[in-house]
Protein backbone atom coordinates (compact mmCIF):
# COMPACT_ATOMS: atom_id res chain seq x y z
CA UNK A 1 0.00 0.00 0.00
CA UNK A 2 1.19 3.51 -0.80
CA UNK A 3 1.02 5.93 2.11
CA UNK A 4 1.37 9.46 0.77
CA UNK A 5 1.27 11.29 4.08
CA UNK A 6 4.43 13.18 4.98
CA UNK A 7 6.60 10.57 6.74
CA UNK A 8 7.72 11.48 10.24
CA UNK A 9 11.39 11.28 9.33
CA UNK A 10 10.84 13.95 6.66
CA UNK A 11 9.02 16.40 8.92
CA UNK A 12 12.23 18.15 10.01
CA UNK A 13 13.34 18.57 6.40
CA UNK A 14 9.95 19.96 5.36
CA UNK A 15 10.05 22.43 8.25
CA UNK A 16 13.60 23.53 7.37
CA UNK A 17 12.67 23.99 3.72
CA UNK A 18 9.60 26.01 4.69
CA UNK A 19 11.64 28.24 6.99
CA UNK A 20 14.19 28.85 4.24
CA UNK A 21 11.43 29.70 1.78
CA UNK A 22 9.67 32.02 4.22
CA UNK A 23 12.75 33.75 5.65
CA UNK A 24 15.08 33.85 2.63
CA UNK A 25 13.13 33.44 -0.62
CA UNK A 26 9.92 35.39 0.02
CA UNK A 27 11.57 38.61 1.29
CA UNK A 28 13.79 38.93 -1.83
CA UNK A 29 11.35 37.48 -4.36
CA UNK A 30 10.15 40.79 -5.82
CA UNK A 31 13.66 42.31 -5.67
CA UNK A 32 15.19 39.77 -8.04
CA UNK A 33 12.10 39.60 -10.24
CA UNK A 34 12.81 43.25 -11.04
CA UNK A 35 16.60 42.84 -11.18
CA UNK A 36 16.71 40.28 -14.00
CA UNK A 37 20.08 38.53 -14.49
CA UNK A 38 21.38 39.76 -11.11
CA UNK A 39 22.74 36.90 -9.02
CA UNK A 40 20.98 36.57 -5.61
CA UNK A 41 23.98 36.54 -3.29
CA UNK A 42 21.67 35.83 -0.37
CA UNK A 43 21.48 32.24 -1.61
CA UNK A 44 25.12 31.32 -1.00
CA UNK A 45 24.73 30.48 2.68
CA UNK A 46 21.46 28.66 2.10
CA UNK A 47 23.06 26.60 -0.67
CA UNK A 48 25.77 25.46 1.74
CA UNK A 49 23.11 24.33 4.19
CA UNK A 50 21.32 22.30 1.48
CA UNK A 51 24.64 20.76 0.43
CA UNK A 52 24.93 19.48 3.97
CA UNK A 53 21.42 18.04 3.91
CA UNK A 54 22.09 16.27 0.61
CA UNK A 55 25.43 14.84 1.72
CA UNK A 56 23.87 13.56 4.94
CA UNK A 57 21.21 11.73 2.96
CA UNK A 58 18.39 13.91 4.30
CA UNK A 59 17.62 15.31 0.85
CA UNK A 60 17.26 18.96 -0.05
CA UNK A 61 16.13 20.45 -3.31
CA UNK A 62 16.54 19.35 -6.91
CA UNK A 63 20.09 18.08 -6.80
CA UNK A 64 19.24 14.79 -5.14
CA UNK A 65 17.64 13.49 -8.31
CA UNK A 66 15.56 10.34 -8.50
CA UNK A 67 17.74 7.29 -7.98
CA UNK A 68 16.81 3.65 -7.59
CA UNK A 69 19.45 2.57 -5.11
CA UNK A 70 19.16 -0.54 -3.00
CA UNK A 71 17.09 0.60 -0.04
CA UNK A 72 17.56 -2.62 1.84
CA UNK A 73 15.82 -5.96 1.62
CA UNK A 74 13.25 -5.57 4.37
CA UNK A 75 10.44 -5.95 1.85
CA UNK A 76 8.51 -3.03 3.35
CA UNK A 77 7.50 0.22 1.73
CA UNK A 78 10.21 2.87 1.65
CA UNK A 79 9.89 6.63 1.99
CA UNK A 80 13.37 7.68 0.95
CA UNK A 81 15.47 10.35 -0.69
CA UNK A 82 13.19 10.91 -3.65
CA UNK A 83 10.11 11.59 -1.58
CA UNK A 84 12.09 13.87 0.73
CA UNK A 85 13.49 15.76 -2.26
CA UNK A 86 10.02 16.29 -3.71
CA UNK A 87 8.69 17.48 -0.34
CA UNK A 88 11.61 19.88 0.06
CA UNK A 89 11.16 21.21 -3.48
CA UNK A 90 7.46 21.87 -2.86
CA UNK A 91 8.24 23.97 0.19
CA UNK A 92 11.09 25.87 -1.48
CA UNK A 93 8.93 26.72 -4.50
CA UNK A 94 6.22 27.90 -2.16
CA UNK A 95 8.82 30.59 -1.54
CA UNK A 96 10.05 31.24 -5.09
CA UNK A 97 10.62 28.97 -8.09
CA UNK A 98 13.21 31.18 -9.78
CA UNK A 99 15.30 31.44 -6.63
CA UNK A 100 15.32 27.67 -6.23
CA UNK A 101 16.48 27.39 -9.85
CA UNK A 102 19.21 29.90 -8.95
CA UNK A 103 20.54 27.87 -6.03
CA UNK A 104 24.18 26.87 -6.47
CA UNK A 105 24.64 23.13 -7.05
CA UNK A 106 20.88 22.51 -7.20
CA UNK A 107 20.36 22.62 -10.99
CA UNK A 108 18.52 20.12 -13.15
CA UNK A 109 21.92 19.02 -14.43
CA UNK A 110 22.80 18.10 -10.85
CA UNK A 111 19.62 16.03 -10.67
CA UNK A 112 20.64 14.20 -13.86
CA UNK A 113 24.13 13.49 -12.50
CA UNK A 114 22.74 12.33 -9.15
CA UNK A 115 20.28 10.05 -10.92
CA UNK A 116 22.35 8.28 -13.58
CA UNK A 117 26.07 8.78 -12.87
CA UNK A 118 28.16 5.87 -11.65
CA UNK A 119 29.88 5.99 -8.26
CA UNK A 120 33.17 7.31 -9.65
CA UNK A 121 31.35 10.13 -11.47
CA UNK A 122 29.29 10.97 -8.41
CA UNK A 123 32.49 11.48 -6.44
CA UNK A 124 34.28 13.35 -9.23
CA UNK A 125 31.41 15.78 -9.87
CA UNK A 126 30.54 16.29 -6.23
CA UNK A 127 30.32 20.01 -5.56
CA UNK A 128 29.80 21.08 -9.17
CA UNK A 129 26.85 23.25 -10.19
CA UNK A 130 25.44 21.67 -13.34
CA UNK A 131 22.94 23.14 -15.81
CA UNK A 132 21.03 21.01 -18.33
CA UNK A 133 21.42 21.69 -22.08
CA UNK A 134 19.03 19.85 -24.39
CA UNK A 135 17.02 22.24 -26.57
CA UNK A 136 18.51 23.55 -29.83
CA UNK A 137 17.45 26.35 -32.22
CA UNK A 138 15.71 23.95 -34.63
CA UNK A 139 13.73 21.90 -32.11
CA UNK A 140 11.97 22.17 -28.79
CA UNK A 141 10.02 19.20 -27.49
CA UNK A 142 11.42 16.54 -29.82
CA UNK A 143 14.53 15.65 -27.85
CA UNK A 144 15.35 12.95 -30.39
CA UNK A 145 16.17 15.72 -32.90
CA UNK A 146 19.44 16.57 -31.12
CA UNK A 147 22.05 17.61 -33.68
CA UNK A 148 24.91 18.60 -31.38
CA UNK A 149 27.65 16.08 -32.16
CA UNK A 150 30.15 14.21 -30.00
CA UNK A 151 33.00 12.49 -31.85
CA UNK A 152 35.44 10.24 -30.05
CA UNK A 153 39.06 11.29 -30.62
CA UNK A 154 41.43 9.17 -28.57
CA UNK A 155 40.47 9.48 -24.92
CA UNK A 156 38.25 12.52 -25.48
CA UNK A 157 34.97 13.43 -27.11
CA UNK A 158 34.86 16.54 -29.29
CA UNK A 159 31.53 18.37 -29.00
CA UNK A 160 30.07 20.81 -31.51
CA UNK A 161 26.67 22.50 -31.52
CA UNK A 162 24.43 25.18 -30.01
CA UNK A 163 22.06 24.89 -27.06
CA UNK A 164 19.31 27.35 -26.12
CA UNK A 165 17.16 27.98 -23.03
CA UNK A 166 19.80 26.60 -20.67
CA UNK A 167 18.64 27.30 -17.12
CA UNK A 168 21.53 28.61 -14.97
CA UNK A 169 23.69 28.37 -18.08
CA UNK A 170 25.83 31.39 -17.19
CA UNK A 171 26.15 30.80 -13.45
CA UNK A 172 26.69 27.04 -13.42
CA UNK A 173 30.17 25.47 -13.28
CA UNK A 174 29.22 22.62 -15.63
CA UNK A 175 26.62 21.78 -18.24
CA UNK A 176 25.06 18.38 -18.91
CA UNK A 177 24.96 18.43 -22.72
CA UNK A 178 22.89 16.08 -24.86
CA UNK A 179 24.75 15.16 -28.06
CA UNK A 180 24.67 12.44 -30.69
CA UNK A 181 27.52 10.01 -31.29
CA UNK A 182 26.26 9.15 -34.79
CA UNK A 183 23.43 10.99 -36.57
CA UNK A 184 22.87 7.99 -38.84
CA UNK A 185 21.94 5.76 -35.90
CA UNK A 186 19.07 7.91 -34.69
CA UNK A 187 17.88 8.21 -31.14
CA UNK A 188 19.99 5.38 -29.76
CA UNK A 189 23.16 7.41 -30.40
CA UNK A 190 22.12 10.34 -28.20
CA UNK A 191 24.11 10.54 -24.97
CA UNK A 192 24.64 13.09 -22.21
CA UNK A 193 28.02 14.57 -21.27
CA UNK A 194 29.17 16.61 -18.30
CA UNK A 195 31.05 19.60 -19.76
CA UNK A 196 32.90 21.85 -17.33
CA UNK A 197 32.55 25.53 -18.22
CA UNK A 198 36.30 26.00 -17.75
CA UNK A 199 37.05 23.91 -20.83
CA UNK A 200 38.10 25.65 -24.07
CA UNK A 201 35.41 25.62 -26.72
CA UNK A 202 32.32 26.23 -24.55
CA UNK A 203 30.96 29.74 -24.17
CA UNK A 204 27.80 31.62 -23.23
CA UNK A 205 26.50 33.53 -26.25
CA UNK A 206 23.76 35.58 -24.55
CA UNK A 207 21.15 35.65 -21.78
CA UNK A 208 17.43 35.64 -22.53
CA UNK A 209 14.85 38.15 -21.28
CA UNK A 210 11.79 36.21 -20.10
CA UNK A 211 8.15 36.43 -19.04
CA UNK A 212 8.81 34.83 -15.65
CA UNK A 213 11.44 33.22 -13.38
CA UNK A 214 13.51 36.35 -13.95
CA UNK A 215 15.81 35.65 -11.00
CA UNK A 216 17.06 32.59 -12.88
CA UNK A 217 19.43 33.14 -15.79
CA UNK A 218 18.56 31.42 -19.09
CA UNK A 219 21.43 31.19 -21.54
CA UNK A 220 22.39 30.31 -25.10
CA UNK A 221 25.52 28.13 -25.10
CA UNK A 222 27.77 27.31 -28.04
CA UNK A 223 30.23 24.41 -28.23
CA UNK A 224 33.01 24.60 -30.82
CA UNK A 225 35.50 21.73 -30.80
CA UNK A 226 35.03 21.42 -27.06
CA UNK A 227 37.00 18.43 -25.79
CA UNK A 228 35.88 16.44 -22.75
CA UNK A 229 37.26 13.19 -21.32
CA UNK A 230 35.36 10.10 -22.37
CA UNK A 231 34.79 9.45 -18.66
CA UNK A 232 32.44 12.48 -18.66
CA UNK A 233 29.82 10.55 -20.62
CA UNK A 234 26.92 9.64 -18.32
CA UNK A 235 25.75 6.06 -18.74
CA UNK A 236 26.95 3.56 -21.30
CA UNK A 237 28.91 4.74 -24.38
CA UNK A 238 27.53 1.79 -26.36
CA UNK A 239 24.92 2.55 -29.05
CA UNK A 240 22.20 0.01 -28.30
CA UNK A 241 19.66 0.23 -31.11
CA UNK A 242 17.44 -2.30 -29.34
CA UNK A 243 17.18 -0.14 -26.25
CA UNK A 244 16.99 2.92 -28.45
CA UNK A 245 16.36 6.27 -26.80
CA UNK A 246 15.25 4.75 -23.51
CA UNK A 247 18.59 5.09 -21.74
CA UNK A 248 19.05 8.83 -22.08
CA UNK A 249 15.32 9.48 -21.63
CA UNK A 250 15.60 8.01 -18.13
CA UNK A 251 17.01 11.41 -17.20
CA UNK A 252 13.54 12.88 -17.77
CA UNK A 253 11.94 10.16 -15.69
CA UNK A 254 14.26 11.33 -12.94
CA UNK A 255 13.73 15.10 -13.22
CA UNK A 256 10.07 15.43 -14.21
CA UNK A 257 8.73 14.66 -10.72
CA UNK A 258 10.96 17.46 -9.43
CA UNK A 259 9.50 19.93 -11.93
CA UNK A 260 6.03 18.71 -10.97
CA UNK A 261 6.93 19.43 -7.34
CA UNK A 262 7.89 22.97 -8.33
CA UNK A 263 4.42 23.42 -9.81
CA UNK A 264 2.77 22.00 -6.71
CA UNK A 265 4.71 24.38 -4.46
CA UNK A 266 3.87 27.41 -6.57
CA UNK A 267 0.18 26.47 -6.73
CA UNK A 268 0.17 26.03 -2.96
CA UNK A 269 1.52 29.56 -2.51
CA UNK A 270 -1.12 31.06 -4.83
CA UNK A 271 -3.97 29.22 -3.12
CA UNK A 272 -2.87 30.26 0.36
CA UNK A 273 -2.57 33.93 -0.64
CA UNK A 274 -5.94 33.82 -2.40
CA UNK A 275 -7.64 32.26 0.65
CA UNK A 276 -6.21 35.06 2.79
CA UNK A 277 -7.43 37.80 0.46
CA UNK A 278 -10.87 36.22 0.08
CA UNK A 279 -11.19 36.02 3.87
CA UNK A 280 -10.31 39.71 4.15
CA UNK A 281 -13.03 40.43 1.60
CA UNK A 282 -15.58 38.51 3.69
CA UNK A 283 -15.77 35.43 1.45
CA UNK A 284 -16.02 32.30 3.59
CA UNK A 285 -14.84 28.95 2.23
CA UNK A 286 -16.89 26.26 3.95
CA UNK A 287 -15.68 22.68 3.45
CA UNK A 288 -18.86 21.28 5.03
CA UNK A 289 -21.25 22.77 2.48
CA UNK A 290 -21.78 21.91 -1.20
CA UNK A 291 -19.90 24.28 -3.50
CA UNK A 292 -23.09 25.31 -5.34
CA UNK A 293 -24.55 26.75 -2.13
CA UNK A 294 -21.56 29.03 -1.49
CA UNK A 295 -20.26 32.32 -2.84
CA UNK A 296 -19.09 31.91 -6.47
CA UNK A 297 -15.52 32.80 -5.48
CA UNK A 298 -15.56 30.15 -2.75
CA UNK A 299 -16.90 27.54 -5.18
CA UNK A 300 -14.14 28.38 -7.66
CA UNK A 301 -11.53 28.18 -4.92
CA UNK A 302 -12.72 24.70 -3.90
CA UNK A 303 -12.43 23.55 -7.51
CA UNK A 304 -8.87 24.89 -7.74
CA UNK A 305 -7.93 23.27 -4.45
CA UNK A 306 -9.15 19.85 -5.64
CA UNK A 307 -7.04 20.26 -8.78
CA UNK A 308 -4.05 21.05 -6.58
CA UNK A 309 -4.63 17.94 -4.45
CA UNK A 310 -4.67 15.72 -7.54
CA UNK A 311 -1.35 17.18 -8.75
CA UNK A 312 0.17 16.79 -5.29
CA UNK A 313 -0.83 13.14 -4.97
CA UNK A 314 0.43 12.01 -8.39
CA UNK A 315 3.73 13.83 -7.78
CA UNK A 316 4.17 12.12 -4.43
CA UNK A 317 3.29 8.80 -6.04
CA UNK A 318 5.98 9.18 -8.75
CA UNK A 319 8.62 9.87 -6.08
CA UNK A 320 7.43 7.03 -3.86
CA UNK A 321 7.69 4.59 -6.78
CA UNK A 322 11.30 5.59 -7.38
CA UNK A 323 12.08 5.06 -3.69
CA UNK A 324 10.58 1.59 -3.93
CA UNK A 325 12.46 0.66 -7.12
CA UNK A 326 9.34 0.61 -9.27
CA UNK A 327 9.36 1.87 -12.89
CA UNK A 328 7.87 5.36 -12.75
CA UNK A 329 8.12 6.62 -16.33
CA UNK A 330 4.34 6.79 -16.74
CA UNK A 331 3.80 8.44 -13.36
CA UNK A 332 6.68 10.88 -13.96
CA UNK A 333 5.00 12.14 -17.14
CA UNK A 334 1.57 12.12 -15.50
CA UNK A 335 2.84 14.22 -12.60
CA UNK A 336 4.58 16.69 -14.90
CA UNK A 337 1.50 16.99 -17.14
CA UNK A 338 -0.95 17.37 -14.28
CA UNK A 339 1.12 19.74 -12.15
CA UNK A 340 2.21 21.82 -15.16
CA UNK A 341 -1.33 22.39 -16.37
CA UNK A 342 -2.77 22.81 -12.88
CA UNK A 343 -0.30 25.44 -11.70
CA UNK A 344 -1.01 27.62 -14.75
CA UNK A 345 -4.78 27.29 -14.29
CA UNK A 346 -4.60 27.85 -10.55
CA UNK A 347 -2.36 30.93 -10.60
CA UNK A 348 -4.33 32.63 -13.39
CA UNK A 349 -7.66 31.95 -11.69
CA UNK A 350 -6.25 33.20 -8.38
CA UNK A 351 -5.28 36.47 -10.09
CA UNK A 352 -8.83 36.66 -11.42
CA UNK A 353 -10.43 35.91 -8.05
CA UNK A 354 -8.40 38.62 -6.32
CA UNK A 355 -9.21 41.31 -8.90
CA UNK A 356 -7.04 44.41 -8.84
CA UNK A 357 -4.94 43.03 -5.96
CA UNK A 358 -4.15 39.95 -8.00
CA UNK A 359 -3.14 41.91 -11.08
CA UNK A 360 -1.05 44.54 -9.29
CA UNK A 361 2.38 44.28 -7.68
CA UNK A 362 0.83 44.74 -4.25
CA UNK A 363 0.90 40.95 -3.94
CA UNK A 364 3.05 38.25 -5.55
CA UNK A 365 0.08 36.68 -7.36
CA UNK A 366 0.83 38.32 -10.71
CA UNK A 367 4.46 37.22 -10.45
CA UNK A 368 3.45 33.67 -9.65
CA UNK A 369 1.14 33.65 -12.68
CA UNK A 370 4.08 34.66 -14.88
CA UNK A 371 6.44 32.16 -13.25
CA UNK A 372 4.00 29.28 -13.61
CA UNK A 373 4.02 29.00 -17.39
CA UNK A 374 7.58 27.72 -17.63
CA UNK A 375 6.64 24.77 -15.43
CA UNK A 376 4.25 23.61 -18.13
CA UNK A 377 6.95 23.97 -20.79
CA UNK A 378 10.44 22.90 -19.73
CA UNK A 379 11.39 19.26 -19.13
CA UNK A 380 8.80 18.36 -21.78
CA UNK A 381 5.72 20.38 -22.69
CA UNK A 382 2.16 19.55 -21.70
CA UNK A 383 1.49 18.10 -25.15
CA UNK A 384 4.58 15.89 -25.07
CA UNK A 385 3.66 14.55 -21.62
CA UNK A 386 0.19 13.63 -22.82
CA UNK A 387 1.72 11.90 -25.83
CA UNK A 388 4.06 9.88 -23.60
CA UNK A 389 1.19 8.92 -21.31
CA UNK A 390 -0.89 7.82 -24.30
CA UNK A 391 1.96 5.68 -25.62
CA UNK A 392 2.43 4.02 -22.24
CA UNK A 393 -1.26 3.30 -21.73
CA UNK A 394 -1.83 2.05 -25.28
CA UNK A 395 1.44 0.14 -25.54
CA UNK A 396 2.52 2.10 -28.61
CA UNK A 397 6.04 3.07 -29.64
CA UNK A 398 7.07 6.58 -30.63
CA UNK A 399 7.02 5.46 -34.26
CA UNK A 400 3.48 4.11 -33.93
CA UNK A 401 2.00 7.11 -32.10
CA UNK A 402 3.34 10.53 -33.04
List active site positions. Answer: 379
Query: Do 148 and 159 touch, CB atoms closer than 8 A?
Result: yes
Beta-carbon contacts of 242 under 8 Å, excluding residues fewer than 6 positions away, are none
Give the single-character DSSP code of 199.
S
- In 208-285, DSSP assigns E strands to 218-229, 233-234
Mind giving me the DSSP string for 66-78?
Answer: -------SS-S--
In terms of Cα–Cα distance, which of 81, 89, 136 is closest to 108?
89
* Residue 157, beta-bridge partner list: 152, 228
Go through 87-114 and write b for each residue having 16 or more CB atoms within 10 A of its CB, e for each that does not.
bbbbbbbbbbbbbbbbbbbbbbbbbbbb
What's the rounded Cα separation, in Å, for the pair 279 and 289? 17
Query: To which H or E segment does residue 288 belong?
Result: none
Burial class (CB in 10 A: 0-12, 13-18, 19+), 291: middle
Q: How many CB atoms lie within 10 A of CB 375?
A: 30
Q: What is the distance between the alpha carbons of residues 390 and 402, in angstroms, rounded to a whole number?
A: 10
Closest CA to 43 of 86, 117, 90, 107: 107
Are 113 and 194 contacting, i.e. CB atoms less than 8 angstroms apart? yes
> Is the distance from CB of 341 to CB of 235 less than 8 angstroms?
no
Measuring CA to CA, which residue among 397, 381, 388 is closest to residue 139?
381
Amino acid sequence: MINLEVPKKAEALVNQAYQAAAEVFRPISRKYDRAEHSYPKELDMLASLIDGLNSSGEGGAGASGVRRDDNGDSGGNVNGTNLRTVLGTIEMCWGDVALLLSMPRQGLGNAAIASVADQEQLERFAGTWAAMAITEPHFGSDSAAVSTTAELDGDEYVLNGEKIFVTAGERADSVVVWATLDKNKGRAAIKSFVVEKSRPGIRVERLEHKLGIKASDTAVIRLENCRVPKENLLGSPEIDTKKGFAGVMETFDNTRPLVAAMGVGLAKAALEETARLLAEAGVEIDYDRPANTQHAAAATYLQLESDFEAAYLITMSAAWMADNRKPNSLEASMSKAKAGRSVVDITLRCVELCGSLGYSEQTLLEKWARDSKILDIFEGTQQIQQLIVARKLLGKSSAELK
